[in-house]
Amino acid sequence: MKQKIALITGATSGIGQACAERFAKGGYAVIITGRNEDRLNTIATTLRDNGHDVLTLSFDVRDRDAAAKAMAVIPQEWRDIDVLINNAGLALGLEKEYEGNYDDWDTMIDTNIKGLLTMTRLIVPGMVERGQGHIINIGSVAGDAAYANGNVYCATKAAVKALTDGLRIDLAETPLRVTNIKPGLVQTNFSVTRFHGDDERAANVYKGIKPLTGADIADVCFYAAQAPAHVQIAEVLVLATHQANGSTIVRNV
Count of Cβ atoms closer than 10 Å to residue 253 Cβ: 7
Q: Of these residues, 28, 102, 147, 153, which one is catalytic? A: 153
* 153 in catalytic set: yes
Report the DSSP beta bridge partners of residue 174: none
Q: How far is CA 152 from CA 48, 121, 161, 224, 233, in A?
A: 38, 24, 14, 28, 27
Helix axes 14-25, 214-226, angle to 10 degrees: 50
What are the backbone dihedrals phi and psi of residue 215, each rounded to the nearest 5 degrees, phi first? -65, -35
What are the backbone dihedrals phi and psi of residue 55, each rounded to the nearest 5 degrees, phi first? -125, 135
Report the DSSP beta bridge partners of residue 29: 5
Q: What is the b/e burial string over 65-97, where b = at least 16 CB atoms within 10 angstroms of the residue's CB?
A: ebbeebbeebeeeeebbbbbbbbbbbbbbbeee
Report the DSSP beta bridge partners of residue 104: none
Cβ-count burial of 209 within 10 angstroms (0-12 exposed, 13-18 middle, 19+ buried)? middle
Contact status, residue 90 vs residue 193, Cβ threshold 8 Å: yes
Question: Which residues belong to the active site?
Answer: 153
